Amino acid sequence: MSEAQERAWSELAPAYVIEAPRDIASTSIRPGSAIDPVEVWGREAPLIVEIGSGQGHAVVHAASSRPADDFLAIEVFRAGLARTMLDADRAGARNLRLVEANAPEVLEHLLPAASVAELWVFFPDPWHKKKHTKRRLVTADFALIAGGALRDGGMLRFATDWEDYALQMREVMSAASDFEPAFEGQWAPRFDGRVLTAFERKGARVGREIRDLAYRRATRT
């Protein structure tokens, strides 16, 4: 990390970062480590979670413009989290928390079941080489874990600029019994709560079509 990022981590992490008990890996979450969102955020409010928040452009913008909601950014790269804290502090986004961890383990072990109002997966790593596609986040196992974390009626939102990943997402979610499409048609309209980032502009500039998908968590029986 840069000197500014190191300083941000030292000064701002106590206010923003959730320190989670670890399992074997440094970014793992020990089973049975669930937090109490009311205790962490100091209130009862809808919880929006972004997976792979990167440098935090989307989540900081959302948190600062939606003060009535609580936000959690999940990222494994500490430098990105440090940048996120710097921007959040400047924007006064006190309703944002961060966790340095693998996203599926956060959903499964750190967050209580049915505690999430919205789950965002914007431009996840496409692992575009054929030999690497098995590393993609959005799989049947992920859909099952996401279904456990989301409350009834909660939203799962995706965006990607890789066509074959968008098709894989749609195939996975069509087979997920915990979810139903939130919109008619093959793709969802662009989510207006997603700020237009330089990353998205770059994808569009080189001719990759941006596709959104949105699914609603079905009511538990």
Q: Which residues are tagged catalytic?
A: 125
Give the count of domains, the chain: 1
Tens of pLDDT along 113-168? 999 999 999 999 986 787 778 889 999 999 999 999 999 999 999 999 999 999 99
**Residue 73 belongs to what domain range?**
3-217
Q: Which long-range contacts (CB under 8 A, 24 or more apart) does 45-48 make?
A: 45/69, 45/70, 45/95, 46/70, 46/117, 46/118, 47/71, 47/72, 47/111, 47/115, 47/116, 47/117, 47/118, 48/72, 48/116, 48/117, 48/118, 48/119, 48/120
| pTM as predicted | 0.94
Does 24 have pLDDT greater than 80?
A: yes
Who wins on pLDDT, 199 or 60? 60
- The average confidence (pLDDT) of the chain is 94
CATH number at residue 142: 3.40.50.150
Tens of pLDDT along 37-83? 999 999 999 999 999 999 999 999 999 999 999 999 999 999 999 99
